Structure 1
Amino acid sequence: MKKLLLMAIVLIGTNCFAQKPLISKNTNISFFSSTPVEDIQGINNTAISAIDVNTGEVLFKANNTAFQFKKKLMQEHFNENYMESEQYPVSSFNGKIMDKPDFNKDGTYTVTVSGTLNVHGVSKIYTTKATLIIKDKIVKASAAFKVKTADHKIKIPSLVITHIAEVMDIKVNATYQIN
């Protein structure tokens, strides 16, 4: 009976005091394509992200139509011709921080994040380094990695192949508040 009571206290205590996931509603995701002919950048400041500090699981989601470009025509081509945003409205990343830090301890941490990036209906595993800066109950996360358009079956018409890079530079920045 004492063991059962002790287990109940531990389980209730764990559930009552378990830390909520960290959530960022204004995550910035950008991509950059550079060729000798043209540079193209798309920026999305309305992506969402979450980190489970207990397990290290991370999630990022971005509406494809929320990417903004310098030229309106680029945005139209991005959504209609390349991302096919009506058919594939969301891009996402589900992964895990492999060497998660103590989120209650201030510091700058370089971590490895590995998971599945789903873009254009195609999922592919990526592993990259990320930087987590924890200070005064605020976590700033940033990462950069490269994505080949062909890996996600994004077709670039031969007419504009010299205007769009085969490999995109992706950058992610998010800020979370620790409760």
Structure 2
Amino acid sequence: MKTTKLLFLAALPIALAFTTLTGKYVSRAVHTEFFSSTPAEDIRANNYAGTGTIDPATGSVAFSIPMQSFEFEKALMQKHFNSADFLDTQAFPKAKFKGTISNIKTMDLNTNGSYPAQVEGEMTIKDKTNPVSAKGTITVKDGKLSIESKFPITLAEYGVAFQKGKPSTNVAKTVEVTVNGDFAVE
């Protein structure tokens, strides 16, 4: 009986060391920012209501961003963003990304540190899906992950294009998207 207890106690730290690798990392507060810069004006919007999962065993990642949760400096910008002429967030309430961290096997997610990440996947906005390739950083600290990535998206690829009028000069054709979040095992 004592031998069994000793074996259990000896095996417990080993089992706990690998617990992180078996669960998925989850975040319910992914921050997404987009930035548009033109000679007419800069437009920046922030959204703190995204969700995300990372599976360390496969490298698969998934993010969902509620589009109506973007906050703008000016109320009129937010109104235009949500309107049927722009992103029609009532008809298309979420943006989604599904992909893979292609170099996940080079990371030791049980060891504190920062790791460069290469992500390949597909972004869906307004029911239009396009491939996205992005570099980022995964930082491990005390069993939790923090992620950050910055990449461009071309609005016309997602059905957002302006041929004339103020939007054609005020909104950049390609915007910079920054995603970051803190993830814990669930």
TM range (shorter): 0.7 to 0.9
- Of 30, 37, 40, which aligns to 1:37? 40
Q: Confirm or deny that 1:48 pairs with 2:51.
A: yes
Secondary structure (helix, strand or coil) at the match of 2:161 reads coil
Give the Cα separation in 2 of the matches to 1:157 and 1:60. 31
1:177 corresponds in structure 2 to 184
Give the Cα separation in 2 of the matches to 1:147 and 1:94. 15
Give RMSD over aligned pairs.
1.5
The one-letter amino acid paired with 2:81 is F
Give the Cα separation in 2 of the matches to 1:125 and 1:170. 14
- Of 107, 126, 137, which aligns to 2:132? 126
Secondary structure (helix, strand or coil) at the match of 1:75 reads helix
Relative to the length of structure 1, the TM-score reads 0.87
The equivalences for 1:28-177 within 5 A come to: 28-80=31-83, 81-100=85-104, 101-160=107-166, 161-177=168-184
Could you tell me which runs of 5 or more consecutive residues in structure 2 were left unpaired when the two chains were aligned. Answer: 1-18
Relative to the length of structure 2, the TM-score reads 0.84
The one-letter amino acid paired with 1:149 is L
Kindly report structure 1 stretches of 4+ aligned residues shifted beyond 4 Å. Answer: none
Identical positions, percent: 28
The one-letter amino acid paired with 1:86 is Q
Say if 2:137 and 2:148, in contact at 8 Å, map to a contact too: yes
Could you tell me which runs of 5 or more consecutive residues in structure 1 were left unpaired when the two chains were aligned. Answer: 1-16
Say if 2:161 and 2:173, in contact at 8 Å, map to a contact too: no
The one-letter amino acid paired with 1:137 is G
Q: Deviations over 1:16-56 (max 9, x none)?
A: x6722110111000100000111111110010011011111
Secondary structure (helix, strand or coil) at the match of 1:82 reads coil
Shift of 1:155: 2.4
